[in-house]
Amino acid sequence: MLSFLARRFLALVGTLLAASAIVFLVLEVVPGDPALVQLGIDASAEAVERRREELGLNQPALVRYVDWIGGLLVLDFGNSFTYETPVGQLIAQRLTVTLPLAFLALLCSTLIAIPLGMFAAANRNRFGDYGVMTFSQIGVAVPNFWFGILLLVLFAVHWQIFNTGFPGWDAGLFAGLKALLLPAAALALGEAAILARIARSAILETMREDYVRTARAKGLSRGQVMVRHVLRNALIPISTIVGLQFALLLAGSIVIEEVFQLPGLGKLLIQAIGQRDLQVIKNAVVLIAVLVVFVNFLVDALYAAIDPRPKQA
Amino acid sequence: MGTVRNVLLASTVAFAIGWAPAMAKTDLVVGMNLEPPSLDPTTTAAAAVDEVTYANIFEGLTRINENGEILPGLAESWDISDDGLTITFTLRQGIVFADGSPFDADDVVFSIGRIIGADSISAKPQLFTSIASVDKVDDNTVTITLSEPNGLVLFNLGQGDGVIVNEATIDEIGTNPIGTGPYMVGERVEGDHITLVRNPNYRDPDSVYFDTVEFRFITDSGAMTTSVLAGDVDYFPNIASPEALAAFENDPRFEVVVGTTEGETVMAANWRREPFNDPLVRQAIMHAIDRQGLVDAAYFGHATPIGTHFAPHNPAYVDLTGLYPYDPDRARELLAEAGYPDGFSTTFILPPPAAYARRGGEVIQSYLAEVGIDAELIPVEWAQWLEGPFRGYDYDLTIVSHTEPLDIGIYALGPDDYYFGYDNPTFNAVIDELRGETDPSARAVQYAEAQQIIAEDLSSIFLFQLPQLGVRNANVQGVWASRPIQANDITGAYWEE
């Protein structure tokens, strides 16, 4: 177990180093001067040059990269070019929106998909199965931003029972969760559709196993077999997909936060790219990489709990 | 009977949920497309900074109103010497900054001092180059000495770049600006909103209507429309979705006011490159474009075509749209005369603003195609646009709206210092004269002359004046319809009951 975790940890560090180098190089190549973007077309050339100097953009690239990595090691992310406030603080504030959004979406998609998958598998090639598969087809086909706009138009504009934007957690847990519900639903639809298909086939696969027949022969009911034997074994492929989906949900939140105008990490990142706020972009990208790697690490650890076999290997 | 019972029921329910009748609202949510990067209007040229802070947080010696008139601001009066070189300002008394420190002549000397001279830290030092010095006479009197007479100095001192700042808190002006206006920053969530609260030390507390004014930044044009329709934003001074205006106009809950801005939308045709350095080709391009058709398609009719680089609502404006009117046949003739009987191919770089640049660009492309000019559209991000066409002078055709007030002088910056590449000594001389002229009627004559020269030369391909598409809750009153300077002055706004 320990060496398993240690290997995973090394992989994590390697991934992060690679991610940091790639994002830094890409930002070096992409055209656009942060100082000019910030000051605008009416600014004088001298004012722009002064700003470049203030932002440290006139230093050699290698010096800036080493400075950045050195800062990361002591969790100092520097100041945002645009807002002049610490990047760490900005990102932390944004995570209080994006992480709950992603988890809520993950929860929604899992809670919808697994029962649907079980239902479809239990009713294989019958009417209920076709219904679930049709839902799944539609869910995969509908782009989540379009579904988000549809939800907004219905619930916020037409019925006016939801608001646009995010009131902040200061407004209360309920108000905050309410504001995240529509975007989470928009994000969850596509993921739930995929997950339902995976769950269905994983369950069908497991149902063909000998031990399931044995369990039935021992006299357990269909329901008991389903929960105790089938679902537990089917959870291994399902949890792999759920872990991968977390990364997709983080990526999807970039678009959805823009549609719902939520002040999350995705919206911050889009704005930072438009503004060439290099300090925010590179740290946010590395952070997203950390999150994805960490969640996959958790999933790997979870396997060990669900299925004891990898430990001994 | 049923009706009476329903009314009783309704009022009981209303009472039960604590629905007090018609309580005056004391907050306002204002929507903006772009977010201010910093909150210091003096060192940042981004329009969004002025749009949040001007008049609401910071005030200048003079004050510009909705009609572009110069009114007293922190100076209650001023006196200009006969040679036009010395302006003596008498300051208002009893004014206190939001942090409680008193305002006097020292603050003026400090604030003006940091934006003039060789080490000016202004983002637009060109607004104040004629100011040689600023001196305190006594606590309530300040003189500004000019190196040459300047007809625009009082106007420029009334813009966001010339506001009076507080020396004690200058280090944090970008994040926590302290001014003399009725509001100060209460909360700022970067990327989402800035909430202004009352300045407890404001000189006239009874005139401050709102307890909080939230500026909410909405980048997506669909989300802008939704936020107003859903009632989450009360007032959008300039909504970037002209396609949605009809929906608001047909809904009695909303009021749509189309005003004007200082934004001349022009297509730059690079003077440094062939064939655009040929006047015949420039004329052909202008003849090829139906400006009214462009405005109808890109702005749903809500904009005014222009024939020169000047705002149509300005009294000195000359309508020169008839100089090279829409005439595709004439355009083809001119192209043939210039040696391009079959037209030519070129590229057209489009910055992000969807309404004028992207949609406008497509419309222009089809007009150009009519006369044989094949323009390939290249959409770019704003940062790329600044780097390529604007600073690198690397473009054939591009489109942008110049939103700075009275900025016809940008055509005198010369080919080495500005992206147009235009250079006409006669025009430069007129701009030089204008700089030294303070008599309004003489200025109007010179402005007319300047407009005429660039219109004939087609220093740019002049398209239309950018409109201000204001959408608001029908009960919000007292806001500006037009914007003579970059500002969302909400100090006169209120809820109608």
CB contact under 8 A, A271 and B35: yes
Of B38, B383, B388, the CB nearest to A276: B383
Distance from CA of B416 to the nearest CA of A (A): 12
Q: Which two tokens stand for residue B389?
A: 């066409």
Instruction: Give the number of A-B residue pairs with CB atoms closer than 8 Å.
Output: 139
In this prediction, residue A294 carries a pLDDT of: 82
Number of H helices, E strands in chain A: 14, 0
The amino acid that residue B345 corresponds to is S
Question: Contacts of residue B394 in chain A, CB cutoff 8 Å?
Answer: none
Phi, psi of B2 (to 5 degrees): -60, -40
* Separation of alpha carbons B179 and B212, rounded Å: 17
The amino acid that residue B430 corresponds to is V
Question: What is the chain B residue with the closest CA to A260?
Answer: B223
Instruction: Measure CA B284 to chain center.
Output: 31
CB contact under 8 A, B384 and A275: no
Cβ of residue A198 closer than 8 Å to a chain B Cβ: no
In this prediction, residue A309 carries a pLDDT of: 67
CA dihedral (B60, B65, B68, B73) in degrees, to 10, reads -30
Neighbours of B156 (CB within 10 A): 23
Cβ of residue B176 closer than 8 Å to a chain A Cβ: no
Q: Which two tokens stand for residue A167?
A: 């009131």
In the block, tokens 């034997």 appear at: A229
Residues near B337 by Cβ (< 8 Å), separated by ≥ 6? B280
Among residues A266, A265, A267, A273, which one has the least CA distance to residue A81? A273
Of B45, B124, B218, the CB nearest to A261: B218
Instruction: Measure CA B393 to chain center.
Output: 24
* Separation of alpha carbons A24 and A66, rounded Å: 11
CB contact under 8 A, B124 and A37: no
Cβ of residue B216 closer than 8 Å to a chain A Cβ: yes
Contact in structure between B476 and B28 (CB atoms under 8 Å): yes
pLDDT by 10s per residue, chain B, length 497: 344 444 444 444 444 444 444 457 899 999 998 888 889 999 887 889 999 999 999 999 999 999 889 999 999 999 999 988 999 999 999 999 999 999 999 999 999 999 998 888 888 888 898 999 999 999 999 999 999 888 889 999 999 999 999 999 999 998 899 999 999 999 998 889 999 999 999 999 999 999 999 999 998 888 899 999 999 999 999 998 898 898 899 999 999 999 988 999 999 999 999 999 999 999 999 999 999 999 999 999 999 999 999 999 888 999 999 999 999 999 999 999 999 999 999 999 999 877 889 999 999 999 999 999 999 999 998 889 999 999 999 999 999 999 888 899 999 998 988 999 999 999 999 999 988 888 889 999 999 999 999 999 999 999 999 999 999 999 999 999 888 898 999 999 999 87
Question: In Å, what is the CA distance from B143 to each residue of A250, B76, B411, B482, B490?
Answer: 58, 14, 32, 32, 30
Residue A305 confidence class, pLDDT cut points 50, 70, 90: confident
Residue B90's Cβ-count burial label (10 Å; 0-12, 13-18, 19+) is middle
Question: Contacts of residue B121 in chain A, CB cutoff 8 Å?
Answer: 47, 50
Contact in structure between B216 and B33 (CB atoms under 8 Å): no
DSSP assignment of A266-306, as one string? Answer: HHHHHHHHHHT-HHHHHHHHHHHHHHHHHHHHHHHHHHHHH
CB contact under 8 A, B390 and A41: yes
Residue A308 confidence class, pLDDT cut points 50, 70, 90: low
Cβ of residue A38 closer than 8 Å to a chain B Cβ: yes
Question: Contacts of residue B195 in chain A, CB cutoff 8 Å?
Answer: none
Contact in structure between B188 and B194 (CB atoms under 8 Å): yes
pLDDT digits (tens, 9 = 90+) for A141-179: 999 899 999 999 999 989 888 988 898 898 899 999 999
Question: What is the chain A residue with the closest CA to B387?
Answer: A32
Q: Which two tokens stand for residue A156?
A: 């916020």
DSSP B401: E
Q: Is A211 helix (H, G, I), strand (E, B) or coil?
A: helix
Give me chain A's average pLDDT, please: 87
DSSP B191: T
SS3 content of chain B, % helix, strand, coil (to 5): 30, 25, 45
Question: Contacts of residue B227 in chain A, CB cutoff 8 Å?
Answer: 164-165, 261
DSSP B27: E
Phi, psi of A264 (to 5 degrees): -105, -175
* Separation of alpha carbons B164 and B73, rounded Å: 10
Distance from CA of B402 to the nearest CA of A (A): 9
Give me the helix-helix angle, A87-122 and A173-207, nearest 10°: 40
Bond preceding residue B275 cis, omega within 30 of 0: yes
Q: In angstroms, what is the C-alpha Rg of chain B?
A: 25
Instruction: Measure CA B283 to chain center.
Output: 29
Q: Which residue in A41, A55, A158, A163 has the most chain B C-beta atoms within 10 A of its own C-beta, making it the best mutation to test that interface?
A: A41
Q: Is B217 helix (H, G, I), strand (E, B) or coil?
A: strand
Residues near B85 by Cβ (< 8 Å), separated by ≥ 6? B145, B146, B147, B148, B149
Give me the helix-helix angle, B279-288 and B328-337, nearest 10°: 160
The amino acid that residue B262 corresponds to is E
Among residues B133, B143, B467, B445, which one has the least CA distance to residue B296? B467
What's the 3-state SS for B271-328? Answer: CCCCCCCCHHHHHHHHHHCCHHHHHHHHHCCCCEECCCCCCCCCCCCCCCCCCCCCCH
Distance from CA of A286 to the nearest CA of B (A): 20
Of B37, B189, B387, the CB nearest to A31: B387
Distance from CA of A238 to the nearest CA of B (A): 35
Residues 100-159 on B with a CB inside 8 Å of A are: 121-126
Q: Which two tokens stand for residue B150?
A: 């300047």
Contact in structure between A243 and A303 (CB atoms under 8 Å): no
CB contact under 8 A, A163 and B45: no
Strand B86-91 with B131-138, pairing: unpaired
Distance from CA of A219 to the nearest CA of B (A): 57
Question: Contacts of residue B124 in chain A, CB cutoff 8 Å?
Answer: 42-44, 47
* Separation of alpha carbons A114 and A196, rounded Å: 6
* Separation of alpha carbons A299 and A294, rounded Å: 9
The amino acid that residue B134 corresponds to is V
Strand B75-80 with B86-91, pairing: antiparallel
ipTM higher than threshold 0.85: no
The amino acid that residue B143 corresponds to is T
* Separation of alpha carbons B182 and A64, rounded Å: 42
Cβ of residue A27 closer than 8 Å to a chain B Cβ: no
Q: Which two tokens stand for residue B480?
A: 């500006």
Q: Which residue in A38, A42, A48, A267 has the most chain B C-beta atoms within 10 A of its own C-beta, making it the best mutation to test that interface?
A: A42
Question: In Å, what is the CA distance from A7 to each residue of A1, A152, A247, A282?
Answer: 10, 45, 21, 26
In the block, tokens 């928009």 appear at: A186
Neighbours of B79 (CB within 10 A): 11
Strand partners, B259: B468
Contact in structure between A116 and A199 (CB atoms under 8 Å): yes
